[in-house]
Every structure is written in C-alpha cells, then in structure tokens.
Structure 1
Amino acid sequence: MKIKASMERVPGGMMIIPLFLGAIINTLFPNAAKTFGSFTGALLTGALPILAVFYVCMGATIDFKSTPYILKKGGALWITKITIAALVGFIAARFLKEGMIDSGLFAGLSVLAIVASMNDTNGGLYMALMGQFGKKEDVAAYSIMSLESGPFFTMVTLGVVGLSAFPWQMLVGAILPLIIGMILGNLDKDLREFLGRAVPVLIPFFAFALGAGLNLLNVWKAGLVGILVGIAVVIVTGIALFAADVLTGGNGIAGLAAASTAGNAAAVPAIVAAANSVYAPVAPAATAIVASSVVVTAILVPIVTSWWAKRVGILNNKML
C-alpha cells in the first residue's frame, strides 16, 4: 500500500490528515485519552512534549550564523500579527465598544473575540508546515513569534490595565529547547545529522496530537460567525503576513503558515474577563468563536500554504 504517497497527494497531507484524524477521535470520543491512558493517552495529549523534541531536533540543524535571519523573520511576523490584530480591533471597537452583537447573522461577535482570534499564531501548525515546505530558519523564527502567546497582547490591545510583562521564565522556556538543539548541533556535526533526521518524522505525530486537542463541534456551537472569523483570520492576517515575509526575503510561505489562531487562544476571553469584569458578558460567546477559529484556521492554513508552496515550486521538505 502507498499510504505515505497517498497522504502526500493531499495539500499538506502529512500535517492535515493526522490532524483531522485526531480531531475526529476527540470529537467522537472526548474521553479516549483518559479511558486508554498509558501510551495511547500520551499520544493523544502529547502535543507539547512532541513539540519540545521537535524544537531540539530543529535547533540542531541550525547554524549559529543564521541567528540574525531568525530574529529578522520572527520579529517581522510577530510585529505584523499583533499590529493587524490591533488595527482590526480598533476599527471594530468604533462600533461594538466592550459589548457584542446580540442578534442576527453575527450574534456573539465582539472586539474581544476578534482580537483574541487574530492575535496568536498556532505555533505547532506553523512549525509543522514550515518543516514540510520551508527552511529550518523559518521554523526557528517561531521562537520569536511565541512572544504573542497568552493574553498579554490581547489585554494591551483592549486597553486592559494590570498586566505589564511576560514572566521571564515563560520566555526562556519557549526558546530553551531550540537553543539546546542549536548548541548540540553546532558542537557536533554528526549529532546535527542524527537529530535532524527526526524533524520530518515528528510532523504527523505532532499534528495528530494537535488535532486531538480540537473538537469539531466547536464550529457548530459558534455558528456561522465563528466560521467567518476563522476565514477572516486567514485572509486578513494572511495578506499582511505574506507581505511581511516577502519584504524580509521570504517567498510568502512562512507568512501564510502563520495566519492561524492558536489553540490556547480559546482560553484568552475568560482570562481577560477575569482581569476586567466589563468583558464578562461577552466572554462565553467569544470563547466559542475563538475555538471555532482555531478549528477553521487549522483546516484552511495547511491547504492555502500547501497550494502556495506548489505555486513557487516547493514540493518536498527542503530542510535536510
């Protein structure tokens, strides 16, 4: 059977097929991880550990000479993402203030939902796609983009007072595996080759674990507005990120791969509401919309990124 070849015929197949499989399992059997436990449960819930290993192996393939490129690319995508979210949020705030639309096609839509959906990139999705279609330096750029994770920049955008900085431990923890891998790979070329071989192998496993954290029913719960927000995230942030990528010497693939909503963004509305009670009434609807955007962008971004990769002539993994 030509399973691998068949998967690769699907745009982003090595990423999107395992992701779909994980999402279907989690949707139909949400307690599967607890029921089976042990190694099966670990496989269903192990997105972060697999990502940590991915970072170490990826870091091992990166030469220290490429560090300036990582800072430039990651910084450009990070600044573009939070700036676009702020601009769209500013425009929406002119009409919605701190409230939400109560009825109609866009019922439940709020500035909180919009900003939280656009503010944070799905790092696992980005790195898996760049691992398949991009350069290792572009994958490593997420170590800079990870600064957007969490509620901080959403709170800043919304004008919430009280949180002024990320804990330094969180920042260090986000880049430490990558740095360890870079050190090991630069000290020993054989170790670089050894660890580097694992990068493409980890992609479907991470994608499966990522999908196992998604529930396809969230799309239904949020209704059409959740789907539209997800599509808007891909289009609006995708155009801006594409331009930022091209302007920093890329071919647009990294920008498109970053046009998603992170899974942990679904927790942001509740955190924001806890920090400022004025957002409490809109937080439940915003949570459903953001969760829907996570699912929608996880489906669309691999398709769009794969399509563009083929347009620019990148068909196979180019990192190794």
Structure 2
Amino acid sequence: MFIPEGGIQTGFFAGFSVLALISCMDMTNGGLYASIMQQYGSKEEAGAFVLMSLESGPLVTMLILGTTGLAAFQPQAFVGAVLPFLVGFILGNLDQDFRDFFSKATHTMIPFFGFALGNSIDLTVIAKTGLAGILLGVLVIIITGIPLMLTDKFIGGGNGTAGLAASSTAGAAVANPMIIANMKPEFMPIAQSATALVAASVIVTSIIVPILTAYYSQYMQKKNKGKVVQKKGNQFTA
C-alpha cells in the first residue's frame, strides 16, 4: 500500500522495497539466537533455534509474497524449500539414536555459527547503505522484537528475553532477494539494492541484539530477585 512496486527510488529511503523488508524481517538468525540463549535462557529456549531453521530460507518469503498476491510460485519451489527440514524432523522423531546423536552437538555448533557469522560481516556495507541500512536494522528489532517479546511472555511463559534474542536478521537472508528474483524475474531490478540493505540489517542486528538482550536479561533478573526477596520478607513478617 505504501511502497511502489519497483521500490523507493529517491530520498532517504531509497532502495526500500517490499522484497527488502520481508527478507529482513521474516528470518531470525538462529545461530546468534542459540548462542545468546545458551547464556541467558533455558535449555528449552535455546533449543527453539531448531524450529527457527524453517524460516531460514526462502520458504517464508515465498509464502508472504504469495499470500499477499505480489507473486506466484510453482508448488515444487515450496517443496524444495521445506523438504530437507521435513526429512530431518522425521528421522529425529522416528529414530531415538539419531535424536541422541545430534542433540549432543548443540553446544559444539555454536562456535561454528559465530565463526560463519563473523566471516559474513562486511562493515563497508554500512558505509554503502548509509543511514538507511542502519535504520532498517533498528526497525527489524523494534517491529519484530516487540511482538516476539509479548509472545514469549504470554504464550511461551518466558520473561521476554528469548523474544528479544530472536529479533535479528539471519545471515542467510542476504541471499533471499536474488533467490526470489531468479524465481520471479520481475523482482530482479530491485534485488541488488535489497541485498545491500539486508546485509546491512544483518550486521546491525548482530551487533545490537546481543547487547540489548544482555541488558534486558540482567534487568529481569534484578526485578525477579527483588520480588522474591519481598515475598520472603512478607512471609517472615506474617
């Protein structure tokens, strides 16, 4: 409704397009989330990154573009995007040995996630996209972070830390604009600018999200600790 079909061409928001916004906001950085939650969350919260892998690819982007009527994709494209995860889920649930074997590798994988993420960060992208790239990264944290924190609190039973830790852009999202453009050539003219903005969002969220999550987790721990002390004090007085 608000963004032209070919994206915004001039002004501060030049390069912003539906493809760029969707690619930034529909994929969580699962490796970043897992490493953060290993330190600030529970085992169950850290393990949620496995389900996040479903969105770490073009599947959700295709679903959003398809359901909004912006693009139509062949059924085999959806099957190809989700088939590897279905095979993994089936094997893990049918074979206890498979589940036990791969569950032990969760902690081992985190340094590799971090190493891959660090290698993919190119700070010159921030200079190329300017304030628009930084703004997009901040928007991702605000627009996706607030609903995720509320969901974590009222549905997941957490305190919002996991929701905030998930408000990032996945490194794999950088490839999404070109993948979608190759499937639907009408997106090709805006794919390059969308790729640059998505890359900037990956860097910005990778830096800001861990810092915000650490501060928020410490704040919630102090808040909950104060409640426990007050409750014990009331019981002692009674």
Cα contact 1:143–1:174 (8 A) shared by 2 = no
State the distance in 1 between where 2:216 and 2:92 align. Answer: 27
| 1:298 aligned partner, one-letter code | S
What is residue 312 of structure 1 aligned with on the other side? 220
In the alignment, structure 1 segments of 5+ residues that lack a partner are 1-93, 186-191, 315-320
Shift of 1:97: 3.5
What is residue 160 of structure 2 aligned with on the other side? 252
Shift of 1:169: 3.8
Cα contact 2:31–2:49 (8 A) shared by 1 = no
Shift of 1:296: 0.4
Q: 1:127 to 1:175 in 2, by over 3 A?
A: farther
Shift of 1:174: 5.6
What is residue 140 of structure 1 aligned with on the other side? 47
Question: Please, which of 59, 72, 84 is the counterpart of residue 170 of structure 1?
Answer: 84
Cα contact 1:269–1:287 (8 A) shared by 2 = yes
Question: Please, which of 16, 32, 37 is the counterpart of residue 109 of structure 1?
Answer: 16
Q: Map Cα deviations across residues 184-243 of structure 1 (whole Å, 9 max, x no partner).
A: 38xxxxxx9xx59x83x7645542332112211111122211110000001110001000
State the distance in 1 between where 2:83 and 2:204 align. Answer: 31
Percent identical among aligned pairs is: 44
State the distance in 1 between where 2:171 and 2:31 align. Answer: 9
Question: Please, which of 186, 211, 216 is the counterpart of residue 118 of structure 2?
Answer: 211
| 1:254 aligned partner, one-letter code | A
State the distance in 1 between where 2:206 and 2:131 align. Answer: 17
What is residue 238 of structure 1 aligned with on the other side? 145
In the alignment, structure 2 segments of 5+ residues that lack a partner are 223-238
State the distance in 1 between where 2:49 and 2:173 align. Answer: 16
| 2:204 aligned partner, one-letter code | V
Which protein is bigger by CA-based radius of gyration? 2
Cα contact 1:98–1:279 (8 A) shared by 2 = no
Q: CA RMSD in A?
A: 2.5
Question: Which structure 1 residue ranges, 4+ long, deviate > 3 Å from structure 2?
Answer: 166-169, 172-183, 201-206
Query: Is 1:220 aligned to residue 166 of structure 2?
Result: no
Cα contact 2:30–2:50 (8 A) shared by 1 = no
TM-score after normalising by structure 1: 0.60
Cα contact 1:227–1:293 (8 A) shared by 2 = yes
SS of 2:2 mapped into structure 1: helix
